[in-house]
Amino acid sequence: MGKFVNSIDEFFTYCEDNDVQFVDFRFTDIKGAWHHLTYRMGAVSAEQLEAGLPFDGSSVDAWQPINKSDMLLKPDVPTAFLDPFTADPTIIIFCDVYDIYKNQAYEKCPRSIAKKALQHADELGIADAAYFGPENEFFIFDDVKFVDNINEAGYKVDTEEGEWNSNTHYEDMYNTAHRPGTKGGYFPVAPTDSMVDMRAEMMQVLEQVGLEVVLGHHEVAQGQGEIGIVFSDIIGAADNVQKYKYVVKMIAHLNGKTATFMPKPLYGDNGNGMHVHQSLWKDGKNLFYKEGEYANLSETALHYIGGIFKHARAVAAFTNPSTNSYKRLIPGFEAPSILTYSSQNRSASCRIPYGAGEKATRVEMRFPDSTACPYLAFACMMMAGLDGIKNKDIPIGPMDEDLFELTLDEIREKKIPQMPHTLRGSLEALIRDNDFLKPVFTDLFIQTYQHYQFERQVWPDEGRPTAYEFKTTYQC
């Protein structure tokens, strides 16, 4: 797997060889959502690919005002790949956003921010490469319904795998009774695992679009799955998340299903995480490796972990950026919120995976989820880690016990910090603690982001009554 083209000349040759009819230019907003503009192949020139393509930046949430709306998409031509889903041959290109008013990379473009983070590490003399390996979990549902009106609110999701369907009468089929049950979905074979063929299709298509696929399996919850892909540099890894989510959603859609990366769609069952493996390198050497130390972790790696933990409450504003994120970060569902590290221990917020030798040594942050914009989440964690390296921060740990068994009193007694419990908490932390993000994240971006998140999620969520509130307070 890898690049399909390396230059503009190769791009046009590749398009001709594949009878490409359309070019789809894609960019990412601050929520992590993909947007696109589609050009006819004949309307695209080498000059445009070099100079950029104009678009309206005022129509994207929290970007430009209408009186300064003109912006440019700057295609990153070596990212081009054929769209596996369109009826007519279409090639997709990742784009960065350029600010024509300041003559620079747009300060609210997540992909540009991630590039600046890597450049910052190099300028500090700390690292010239950063590798990230995200693990994005997802649910496949047969049906989803929700309502959000002034006098009513509710949702209902369904999957044939759900234990609540054990007594369901199906018109066109019999009830198979093969279901994983709550928290019973880890590695069962078919027919209990009903998604074998669909995941296989996803894995094959992911390889078609350039990802190196390792494995796929059913996850712990009912209707939940995961596909493992090979790590990449910080930009390539974030690009891969966008491809991964696109392919998973489209394959589910084409199979008459619906996929979601929502952190906690099922009450009482495991949620979706995006565990992120990370390492910094310089001159071809892994800065996180030192043979003979605990889990072969170097002092640099410990400082990196320490920086992320020190700023974790603010970091969460980018790694766990939805109100639903914090319904996942509760004890008992393999979603760590206790800020310590441990070797091979999945109850710690930072796990040091088993691996032999320099190349395999890395840290795995287990609290992020897939509602994060991958570019912002990776850049934010790296900036916190770099700050930890500069200030020689030391994390609490290692702690090799089952942290899920600790009571709240024990956590306080051991003085172990925790992740914030709400999106409001993380955004308020970001307001107080953001110096570590500068100059990669500008003041304008941080202000825009936190205001947007309060207005889009926190205040609307806090203002709405829930079904559980009716259950507990209506008769008071």
Residue 230, token pair as written in the block: 């090979």
Q: Contact 382/278 with Cβ under 8 angstroms?
A: yes
pLDDT of residue 280: 98
Q: Is 328 annotated as a binding residue?
A: yes
Q: What is the DSSP letter of 454?
A: I
Q: Is 107 annotated as a binding residue?
A: no
For the chain, give the number of residues: 476
Q: Which residues of the chain have pLDDT under 70?
A: 1-2, 331-335, 356
- How many whole angstroms separate alpha carbon 208 and alpha carbon 196? 19
pLDDT of residue 1: 53
- How many whole angstroms separate alpha carbon 90 and alpha carbon 216? 27
Residue reference for tokens 């393999």? 334
| CATH 3.30.590.10 boundaries in the chain | 129-473
Which one from 10, 24, 128, 135 is the annotated catalytic residue? 135
Residue 137, token pair as written in the block: 């979990």
Residue 419, token pair as written in the block: 């992740």
Q: Which CATH superfamily includes the segment(s) 129-473?
A: Glutamine synthetase/guanido kinase, catalytic domain (3.30.590.10)
Q: Is 3 annotated as a binding residue?
A: no
Which one from 36, 346, 358, 456 is the annotated catalytic residue? 346
Active site residue 219: yes
- How many whole angstroms separate alpha carbon 114 and alpha carbon 107? 11
Q: Is 7 annotated as a binding residue?
A: no
Q: Is 226 annotated as a binding residue?
A: yes
Angle at which helices 196-208 and 234-254 cross, to 10° = 130
- Per-residue pLDDT tens digits for 338-396: 899 999 777 789 999 887 688 999 999 999 999 999 999 999 999 999 999 999 999 99
Which one from 96, 99, 161, 364 is the annotated catalytic residue? 364
| CATH 3.10.20.70 boundaries in the chain | 8-106
- How many whole angstroms separate alpha carbon 294 and alpha carbon 307? 18
Element (H, E) at 45: none
Active site residue 137: yes
Q: Is 391 annotated as a binding residue?
A: no
Listed residue (113, 110, 115, 127) closest to 386, CA to CA: 127
Q: Contact 298/289 with Cβ under 8 angstroms?
A: yes
pLDDT of residue 333: 58
Cα 56 from chain centre: 26
Which one from 219, 387, 393, 428 is the annotated catalytic residue? 219
Would you call 412 helix, strand, or coil by DSSP? helix
Q: Is 273 annotated as a binding residue?
A: no
Q: Is 438 annotated as a binding residue?
A: no
pLDDT of residue 174: 82
Q: Is 57 annotated as a binding residue?
A: no
Active site residue 405: no
Which one from 9, 56, 88, 402 is the annotated catalytic residue? 56
Residue 104, token pair as written in the block: 């620079």
Active site residue 455: no
CATH of 8-106, one of 3.40.718.10, 3.10.20.70, 1.20.1440.130, 3.40.50.10310: 3.10.20.70
Which one from 26, 218, 275, 303 is the annotated catalytic residue? 275
* 311 Rama class: left (phi>0) / alpha (psi -120 to 50) / beta: alpha
Active site residue 56: yes
Q: Is 50 annotated as a binding residue?
A: no
Which one from 96, 366, 369, 424 is the annotated catalytic residue? 366
pLDDT of residue 269: 94
Q: Is 421 annotated as a binding residue?
A: no
CA end-to-end span of the chain: 61
Within 8 A by CB and 6+ apart from 157, the residues are 139, 141, 143, 144, 145, 265, 266
Within 8 A by CB and 6+ apart from 268, the residues are 182
Which one from 83, 137, 369, 428 is the annotated catalytic residue? 137
pLDDT of residue 411: 75
